[in-house]
Amino acid sequence: SEHLEFTLSRPLDFIDDWMGEIDPKSTYYIHCAGGYRSMIAASILKSRGVENVIDIAGGYGAIKNTDLKRTDFACPSKAMKI
């Protein structure tokens, strides 16, 4: 799948695992596919002391309509090696 260049992918299901990686004083722009999961993540991050969390309205669907640089599409099933 496509992603924004120079970004990190952190699943909501594992927020407790990756919370320690972030600086609570930095600014974070977060998104998911449509906006619902990132809204939940933003709420959790703010409640845990992360001061500057910006949830991108409309999620990745809205981002695709901008000129932000994205990676090339790669089929996830072909990218995964077992």
Give the Cα separation of 42 and 49 in Å (integer).
Answer: 11
Give the pLDDT band (50/70/90) at residue 70: confident
Return the closest-CA partner of residue 7 out of 57, 49, 60, 43.
60
Is 60 among the domain residues?
Answer: yes
Is 6 among the domain residues?
Answer: no
Question: Residue 4 has what DSSP assignment?
Answer: B
Give how many domains the chain has, as a whole number. Answer: 1
| pLDDT of 81 | 44
Domain containing residue 23? 12-79
Question: Please, where are the H alpha helices in 21-74?
Answer: 36-47, 59-63
Does the structure show a pLDDT above 80 at 11?
yes
Tens digit of each residue's pLDDT (9 = 90 or more) over 18-53: 999 999 999 998 988 888 999 999 999 999 999 999
Give the pLDDT band (50/70/90) at residue 3: low
